Amino acid sequence: MMDFGFKISPSSTINLDKVDLEKFTRLHEIEPDVYKCMACGSCSSTCPAGRFSGMSLRKVILDLQRGKEKEAVAMMKNCMLCGKCTMVCPRGINTRHLILSIYRIYAEDEK
């Protein structure tokens, strides 16, 4: 067989019908602003930690909605809670409070 220089990687498809969103629902009860996020990227573009660590609140919220909790919590550890994202959010989301609520709900499993 001929080698074309690439290989087929396993599928990264997420079956959203099988994702347990119980914690995300709890997060929404505490922080209704999580549904206000329109994933514009303003928070990610101003994040000083994002340049060096890949921190992105937008990606964290999307990962939590897709059931990728471990990846989201791992990314959250890079947040410095400086508050720049709160200042630039066009929807007025208190991102610091949202981040701390995510920690409270999702990081409790790591204890």
- What is this structure's pTM? 0.80
- Residue 96 domain flag: yes
- Residue 5 domain flag: no
Looking at the 3D structure of the chain, how many domains does it have? Answer: 1
pLDDT at 4 over 80: no
Question: 62: domain CATH number?
Answer: 1.10.1060.10
pLDDT in tens, 49-67: 888 888 899 999 999 999 8
pLDDT at 1 over 80: no
Which domain covers residue 47, as residue numbers? 20-110
- Residue 29 domain flag: yes
In this structure, of 10-24, 54-68, 74-88, the range with the lowest mean pLDDT score is 10-24
The string of DSSP codes covering 15-69 is -GGG---HHHHHHHHH-GGGGT----SHHHHH-TTHHHH---HHHHHHHHHTT-H
